[in-house]
Amino acid sequence: MEYFGRYGGLNEGVSSPYRLSDVQNRFMVIGCNALASISDRDGTGYEGYGAAACRNQSDLVDGSCSGIGCSQTTIPKRMYFYATTFFSTVNNSRIWKFNRCSYAVLMETTSFRFSTKYITTNKFNGTNDGRVPVVLDWAMRDIKSCDVAKQNKTGTYACLSSNSKCVNSSNDQGYMCNCINGYEGNPYLPGGCKGLTMGLFGLMVIIMISVFWGQMTTQKRKLNKVKQEYFREHGGLLLFDRMRSEKGLAFNVFSEAELRHATDNFDISRILGKGGHGTVYKGIIKSSMPVAVKRCGIVDERQKKEFGKEMLILSQINHKNVVKLLGCCLEVEVPILVYEFVRNGTLFELIHGRNQALQISFSTLLRIAHEAAEGLSFLHSYASPPIIHGDVKTSNILLDDNYMAKVSDFGASILAPSDKEQFVTMVQGTCGYLDPEYMQTCQLTDKSDVYSFGVILLEILTGQLPLKLEGTEKPRSLSLIFLSAMRENNLEDVLVSQVKGQASMELLRGLADLARKCLEMCGDNRPSMKDVADELNRLRKLSLHPWVQLDMEMDEENLPGGESTTGYEIELSGYPMDKSENHPINPGSSYYAR
């Protein structure tokens, strides 16, 4: 194997009083395809290796030195010399197209923090003119230990002060001298260790406090500088400018300290839920106002650049069936979002989980589906620019105090792309809900949300999970099971008994047909979310007033030529109304009796 390298160490060799600290130093290797060794061929015979590799810039993480772009290796004791060698045959031209530079160095661990700029801009070599700190352990090396030194008859024992003590070296043979407790000075001189008076002690306390506060002030300034950089990077300046120009904009920019206080420092007892796009905590702001605080997962460079702009757009979304975005925090590496708090769980829990025992009526489930469709339709058709949700599922449909649906979790949302370069290229969403066309093209569109919503309709109809994992059989997709039943005219076989007992087959076939259209393989053949919402509204009327259809059929028989009417409107009167949904109360629903 070919290699090239250089040597480093101490000119005095083994007789030197210095040793390379095995505790405070590490052998660092930086690069995208780097293999380097560190050895002490003339000393202990030690040889160690460090390897660093990466595929692309998105693999790199600031502060992480565990093999991707950066690795670190410990060294043994007793080293006074080292050689560094690179193995050149590890490199190849494909990796060089991304980054051909590699670095290896033995340095103080606490002085090093990996930065992705070392790889992306090759700036490591420019740090401190290419010089880095290393820690050396010093000791009297000519005698092995304190015991031997004290017995030495030649008078070379170095601890000459009467108030000194001998300490064995922890790195190779040798010893050092220290003043005993309560004394300070030079233990290597006769009378060098002097007693501390209270005045000196007080002075030292003052000095230590001053140093401490000085360090705290410096660290605070550094932290503020980092926060300001994050704020600028996430588009905070643009956000502030717009907030000043539009004084009526109901949006808040929170500090990290405010949100830590609101969530008890993001205590685990405050967690409302976790997902692929982050963790949501319950918080309390303005003394009594509950909110949902979402710490997002990693965002890519495009999202960072557009974050402030997208916050402005999302902050202006005001629809009763969309969770309201109240504000954000931009002074952290990954932004934090603050939403209105919706307290009654999710549609997933209503169908499959902890709230399943409530046995909500089918008409209420149909209403919730209609409201969710209205919220998504608003995002697709009336937001400017249009917003694609990207992760539509029952667990992202929240329910308020009146069990009204609110579409939530815009962690995967994107603004509708204006050109092909802006299409999403990383798979996102949830298995069982993913649009198969998106899986093939990586192009997220409004029809991707329509497909996912079709799966939600299947959950309501069948009471089944989107992906069946129980038993020894291979996982089966609910959408494939449903479409197969529709082709074989076996719809009743997949319907949940509760649904069949509460709705007519005419209504259920209408809902199943709508779900089938949403699940078309080709996105162009699927209806828009507005069409879905309109059809659900029509089916709700049929669900609430099934006799209307019969009256219409009787009227059609009396029309000339048997022609049917269109645009038939229903006016309701004389019925008690549910204040949360503007339709007659269903006395059989446990929801209304809660």
Instruction: Show me where the domains of the chain are located.
Output: 4-137, 146-196, 234-341, 344-584
* pLDDT, mean of residues 253-257: 84
What span, in angstroms and rounded, lies between the C-alpha atoms of 388 and 404? Answer: 21
Reported as a single tens digit per residue, the pLDDT across 267-316 is 999 998 876 667 889 999 988 899 999 887 766 555 555 566 667 677 77
pLDDT value, residue 91: 55
227 is in an annotated binding site: no
Q: Per-residue pLDDT averaged across 98-112, rounded? A: 85
Contact of 322 with 374, CB cutoff 8 Å = no
Residue 27 pLDDT greater than 80, yes or no? yes
Residue 454 in this model has a pLDDT that exceeds 60: yes
Please give the pLDDT value at position 93: 46
The angle, 0 to 180 degrees and rounded to 10, between the axes of the packed helices 446-462 and 478-487 is 70
127-159 per-position pLDDT tens digit: 667 788 999 999 998 888 999 988 875 668 899
Reported confidence tier of residue 246, pLDDT bands at 50, 70, 90: low
133 cis-preceded (ω within 30 degrees of 0):
no
Name residues whose C-beta falls within 8 Å of residue 589's C-beta, 6 or more positions apart in sequence: 360, 361, 363, 364
- Indicate whether 575 pLDDT > 60: no
**Angstrom distances, CA of residue 286 to CA of 248, 332, 344:** 19, 22, 22
Task: Copy the structure tokens of residue 128.
Answer: 């401190």
CATH class of the domain at 234-341:
alpha beta
Q: What's the confidence (pLDDT) of residue 300?
A: 58
pLDDT band at 448 (very low <50, low <70, confident <90, very high): very high
- Residue 28's DSSP bridge partners are 72, 105
Distance CA 526, CA 513 (A): 12
Q: CB-based contacts of 507: which residues, under 8 Å, 6+ apart?
A: 539, 542, 543, 546
Least confident span in 10-14, 99-103, 415-419, 459-463? 415-419
Tokens 């990954």 — which residue?
334
What is the torsion angle, in degrees rounded to the nearest 10, for the CA atoms of residue 383, residue 388, residue 389 and residue 394? Answer: 100
For residue 244, is pLDDT > 60? no
Which pLDDT does position 81 carry in this prediction? 84
Residues with catalytic function: 391
Predicted local distance difference test score (pLDDT) of residue 217? 72
Least-confidence region, from 273-282, 338-347, 408-417: 408-417
For the chain, helix, strand, coil in percent to 5 are: 40, 20, 40
CATH topology of domain 344-584: Transferase(Phosphotransferase); domain 1 (1.10.510)
Residue 294 falls in which region: left (phi positive, over 0), alpha (psi -120 to 50) or beta: beta
Q: What is residue 70's three-state secondary structure?
A: strand
**What is the overall mean pLDDT for the chain?**
78
Highest mean pLDDT among 66-75, 214-223, 236-245, 569-578: 66-75
Measuring CA to CA, how many Å separate 578 from each of 67, 546, 587?
A: 61, 18, 11
Mean pLDDT of 178-193: 90
Q: Are 563 and 556 in contact (CB under 8 A)?
A: yes
Whole-number pLDDT of residue 580 = 38
Q: CA nearest 320: which of 435, 402, 215?
A: 402
Axis-axis angle for helices 446-462, 529-544 (nearest 10)? 30
Helices (H), 391-490: 436-441, 446-462, 478-487
pLDDT at residue 577, as a whole number: 35
Indicate the CATH number of 146-196 among 2.60.40, 3.30.460, 2.10.25, 1.10.357: 2.10.25
Top-confidence residue, 141 or 421: 141
Considering 32-41, 270-279, 562-571, the range whose residues carry the highest mean pLDDT is 32-41
- Is the per-residue pLDDT at 538 higher than 80? yes
Residue 148: Cβ within 10 Å count: 12
Q: How much is the pLDDT for 279?
A: 86
377-402 pLDDT per residue, tens: 999 988 878 888 888 999 999 999 99
Strands (DSSP E) contained in 325-428 are 325-329, 336-340, 387-388, 397-399, 405-407, 414-415
User: Which residue has tokens 């192009």?
Assistant: 443
The reported pLDDT for the residue numbered 29 is: 93
